[in-house]
Amino acid sequence: MKKLIFGCLLLLAQLAHAQTATYAILPKPAKLVEQKGTFKLASNVTLVLDKDNADLRRVATQLADRIAAATGTRPQIKTGKASGQSIYFTSAKSEKLGAEGYGLKVTPKQITITSAQPKGAFYAVQSLLQLMPAEIFSPTTVTGVDWSVPCCTVEDQPRYAYRGLHLDVGRHFFPVSFIKKYIDLIALHKQNTFHWHLTEDQGWRIEIKKYPLLTQIGSKRKETMAGRYKDNKYDGKPYGGFYTQDEVREVVKYAQDHFVTVIPEIEMPGHSMAILAGYPQFGSNPDKIVPVATKWGVFEDVLFPREETFTFLQDVLTEVMELFPSQYIHIGGDECPKVQWKESRFCQDLMKKNGLKDEHELQSYFIQRIDKFITGKGRKMIGWDEILEGGLSPNATVMSWRGTEGGIAAARQKHDAIMTPGNFCYLDHYQTDPKGQPIAIGGLTPVEESYSYEPTPDSLSAEEAKHIIGVQGNVWTEYMRTPEYVEYMVWPRAIALAEVGWTAKDRKNVDDFMKRLDVHKKRLDLLNVNYFGAPINGNFQYQMPQDATASK
């Protein structure tokens, strides 16, 4: 009897795994009903649009491109009524599906994609591709594959409106080709925002026409830290790089084609040594030589709240907003030491003049000036949770990184908040036992921990909870010198956070996620992603600690 029970349990487990493997969609849909049979992707399959819409045609073209690359046969794209074996794109009312929702129905005769907007159709295509054999992600033609899609009905839409992934290019610079690949992976996992951290103490990475010294001087440092921070060693090699405005436009357009919004971050008033290296007049002393930082960390040289500083920042942000059509502009606002402000007669007089009781309120004054300018341009400002100190700017959205308290405080003040607490969402942490791992900044955040995160705190009322608009993974690159190492640290943890942002709380299950992820890894292999545990991990240069161990 025991053997019979054990056998039944084993069979049930195998069946559950088989179902997971067959419907291994990431992130998990809101509703998926399995059906019998399969749709055979024949060589004469057509993609049919119910009406000719440029954005919808672009989605269909991307699907056709993918099918052509993997199968060697390119489907035709037509407009009108579906007939024969086809993949049919049709529209529906937005009230049911929302802007990003979709329906996907697979029968033996036809695949139907239903959406209110093209971005919903785009997400349906990502799910459809994940129902196909993994080889659909091959960059070259694959033969001998059964190109069939399991029948099912999917009804899906995201839990949160904001689903982001960040990349710091200030500490280390990455080429446009990698930024596009990063966006591809953001889009594949139904995230919709790329937070581009473009300026830092260690490098200014965006061309500003009115202030050429930002890139002529600010984009270059004389050397970079080598090994652990505490070793205080340097490689002695000049380092630099920046994106031209044409390259920025190229990235923004590429992201738009994949329904990803690019949010630029221009740090202020701290993390500004790369500004002061070229324009010291915006800091404590116009005669002070401020080098672009070579060490990691936080520095006392910061921007001063003078009128000429605000003019400079408004000029910079004007050029930035011309390049980025995003609703949000991120202004940093974190880790701003107040030492120089405390020692400045100008700052102390300004505080008295404006009735500011301390330097935290002076930072609030600084941020509110910028908020007013950004709002006046029809945009919205995001800042790290330090912008709460000294009083929150009237129109600000808070990005909560020092735990969840900042997001909770913002929501209770009726401000929107994006949750990105370090212990769950910082992808520069170690993801396994640090022993034998490449150098990382510290911490320990395995994929299961990222997956366990619940962005909406129980302590908020239902009305306050509406202000928690999403979740984001952050990628700080002090120790990530190459694109391959970024990939090693980011995936698969970013996929876990993608499911946190998309999938309803009661639909999540870590064991089920890990099974679907196991299938998904073959897709990542074909996309040449150097994720943690990938077969190609040995093909890139790790920055290993000399004693082969790493401290937390």
Confidence of residue 15 (pLDDT cuts 50, 70, 90): very low
- Name the band, by pLDDT with cuts 50, 70 and 90, for residue 545: low
Mean pLDDT of 507-535: 97
* pLDDT tens, residue by residue, 130-175: 999 999 999 999 999 999 999 999 999 999 999 999 999 999 999 9
What phi and psi, each to the nearest 5 degrees, are found at residue 358?
-155, 180
pLDDT digits (tens, 9 = 90+) for 337-360: 999 999 999 999 999 999 999 999
pLDDT value for 9: 43
Stronger pLDDT, 533 or 10, i.e. the higher one: 533
**In the prediction, which pLDDT does 541 show?**
67
Q: What pTM, to 2 d.p., does this model score?
A: 0.95
| Beta carbons of 539 and 484 less than 8 angstroms apart | yes
pLDDT (tens digit per residue) in 33-70: 999 999 999 889 999 999 989 999 999 999 999 999 99
* pLDDT for position 543: 62
Is there a shared CATH topology between the 24-156 domain and the 162-539 domain? no
Distance CA 487, CA 533 (A): 11
Q: What is the pLDDT of residue 20?
A: 57
| Strand stretches in 431-479, DSSP E | 442-444, 468-473
Q: Is the model's pLDDT at 248 over the cut of 80?
A: yes
Domains of the chain: which residue ranges? 24-156, 162-539
- Rounded distance, CA 494 to CA 307, Å? 41
Cβ atoms of 126 and 114 within 8 Å: the answer is no
Please tell me the distance from the alpha carbon of residue 163 to that of residue 158, in angstroms, as a whole number.
9
Q: Which two three-digit tokens encode residue 394?
A: 């009237």
234's tokens? 């340097």
Q: Cβ(167)–Cβ(124) under 8 Å?
A: no
Cβ neighbours of residue 173 under 8 Å, at least 6 residues apart?
Answer: 203, 205, 239, 240, 241, 242
- The predicted model gives 509-519 an average pLDDT of 98
C-alpha 127 chain-centroid distance: 19
**Residue 6 confidence class, pLDDT cut points 50, 70, 90:** very low
Q: Where are the alpha helices (DSSP H) in 324-461?
A: 339-342, 345-353, 359-376, 405-412, 422-425, 447-451
- The answer to whether the beta carbons of residues 513 and 499 sit under 8 Å apart is yes
Least confident of 79-93, 241-255, 307-321, 421-435: 79-93
Residue 479 to residue 227: CA distance in whole angstroms: 8
269-291 pLDDT per residue, tens: 999 999 999 999 999 999 999 99
CATH entry, 24-156, from 3.40.50.800, 3.30.379.10, 3.40.50.620, 3.90.320.10: 3.30.379.10
Residue 547: pLDDT above 80? Answer: no
Among the CATH numbers 3.20.20.80, 3.40.50.450, 3.40.720.10, 3.40.640.10, which is that of 162-539? 3.20.20.80
Token pair in block for residue 66: 């993918």
Mean pLDDT of 78-93: 91
Residues 117, 118, 120: CA angle, nearest 5 degrees: 70
